[in-house]
Structure 1
Amino acid sequence: MNYELSRENNYEFFKSCVHEELIGLHTTFSWNRVIRRLITVPRKRYLFGWRLASYFFTSGGKREIKFAHWYNRRISRKYNVEIQLGAIIGPGMKISHQNGIVISRLCRIGRNFHIHQNTTIGAKIDKTGFIDIGDNVTIGAHCCLIGLNMTIGNNVTIGAGTFLNKDLPDNSTCYIRREYIIITEQ
């Protein structure tokens, strides 16, 4: 995954993300289709809003960055999803339920990322380092991924309710085993 975006390919990256996430790759891209999809499918509005804010944030310029921060705060409050500006997320991101999702600016995430509600991906201390997440990763509900210089491989599934602070290799599944013991008195 290319983590560095120049100003020239920033627009093309924004357009490819909008194409894949809003209208799908099976259809040709047009801005009219994007607007129709935003009107008819309200759950896609946050993705478009964050992609737009991220586009302005990476475009440079004081006004663009100031607008990006303002717009990101606005959509974060409205949709209860906080993906910080500076996070790099590849095309194909899918949010199942827009409730309580937090993604740090230190994240670099690959293509086809699927995340469920009440999930946090971040660092305990905001220092240098990144949280690298590969392609085709699914994170279940109520998960917490905390750490710096953490790497999650490609084709990984993280089960619901998992706390993770270690690296995961490619093609793996991670979940927390919980046992409930019920004792009834007779």
Structure 2
Amino acid sequence: MLAAIRRDIRAARERDPAKPTTLEVVLAYPGVHAIWSHRISHWLWRRGARVSARTLAEFTRIVTGVDIHPGAVLGPGLFIDHATGVVIGETAEVGEDVHMYHGVTLGGSGAETGKRHPTVGDRVTIGAGAKVLGAIKIGDDSRIGANAVVVKPVPSGSVVVGVPGQVISRAGRGTPDDSMMPDLVGVSLQSLLTRVAKLEAQNDGQQNGRVIRPPEAGVWHGEDFSI
């Protein structure tokens, strides 16, 4: 238990860009507190003290905003950043050195019994608000984009975005692609507008009326973007 606590503290210090001190992590990181409490409730759950385990898990949810079922299996080195709104179901399994952000759900996809929650591999990053549902496997070194809804297995080394989640990259661990999530909608829209602009130019050599031009250096141009 002491070794696991030390690794949890090290994970928070290494992965939080704020570079907190050990004392800050121990006193002021609810995601770390939730993991520590879960390790105790899971110990109770495995030894048949299920009412005590559920009671401790509920108290932890009230205090930290993190709802982890005591039956879930959490690997060492897990870091839940900002913590609030995280839900991890009973049969979920989380590997080593996983990084989760706020609002993440590892949930079921129906009323089935038995194994009904995800299995998350090692060194996976799950973005804010992402939902991973069902008894699916998320491969090692994968990245799940913010607000993605994942309902199908994900190969190792993948990048997943969208609703429903789509695999858009299989960049190997540690490559430049591993540091950012592409904007599929933005890229598609830019490509479409560029194509339309070329077709209009070929048609009459000029563009008439109100138009929205493709973005230049990430800036959209148009007469009125008010909502």
TM-score normalized with structure 1 length = 0.74
**Conserved in 2, the CA contact under 8 Å of 1:16 and 1:91?**
no
The reply to whether residue 86 of structure 1 matches residue 71 of structure 2 is yes
Q: Point out where structure 1 has 5 or more consecutive residues left out of the alignment.
A: 1-13, 25-35
% identical equivalent positions? 23
One-letter amino acid of the counterpart of residue 132, structure 2: L
Q: What displacement does 1:109 show? A: 1.4
Distance 1:37 1:52 in 2: 22
Q: Which residue of structure 1 aligns with residue 57 of structure 2?
A: 72
Listed as ranges, the matches of 1:18-167 within 5 Å are 18-22=5-9, 40-43=27-30, 44-58=32-46, 60-61=47-48, 64-126=49-111, 127-130=113-116, 131-148=118-135, 150-167=136-153
Cα distance, 1:52 vs structure 2: 1.5
Q: Is the 8 A contact 2:88 2:107 kept in 1?
A: yes
Determine if contact 1:82/1:102 at 8 Å carries over to the other structure.
yes
RCO higher in structure (CA 8 A, sep ≥6):
1
CA RMSD across the alignment:
2.7
Measured in 2, the distance between the counterparts of 1:48 and 1:153 equals: 25
Aligned partners of 2:83 and 2:154: how far apart in 1? 25
Give 1:38 shift: 6.9
2:18 corresponds to which residue? none
AA aligned to 1:47 is I
Aligned residues: 159
Indicate how the Cα distance of structure 1 residues 42 and 132 shifts in structure 2: closer, same or farther if over 3 A, else same: closer
Whole-angstrom distance in 2 between the partners of 1:161 and 1:95: 16
Q: Matched residues in 2 for 1:37 and 1:55: separation? A: 26
User: For the Cα contact (< 8 Å) 1:17–1:90, is it kept in 2?
Assistant: no
1:83–1:184 distance in 2 versus 1, CA, 3 Å? farther
Deviation at 1:178, TM superposition (A): 2.9
Alignment CA distance shift 1:185-1:166 (3 Å): same
Q: Deviations over 1:14-67 (max 9, x none)?
A: 44422310356xxxxxxxxxxx67754443322211211112212x14xx3322
SS in 1 for 2:84: coil
SS of 1:20's partner is: helix
Is contact 1:18–1:51 with CA below 8 Å preserved after alignment?
A: no
Give the whole-Å Cα distance in 2 for the aligned partners of 1:40 and 1:80.
16
- Matched letter for residue 164 of structure 1: V
Question: CA-to-partner distance for each residue in 1:78-128, whole Å, 9 max, x for gaps?
Answer: 111111111111101101111111111121111011110111111122422
Contact 1:104 1:123 in 2 (8 A): yes
Q: Secondary structure at the match of 1:178?
A: helix
Return closer, same or farther for 1:143/1:107 CA change in 2, 3 Å cut-off.
same
> Who is 1:178 aligned against?
185
State the Cα distance separating 1:154 from its structure 2 match. 0.5
Secondary structure, aligned partner of 1:141: coil
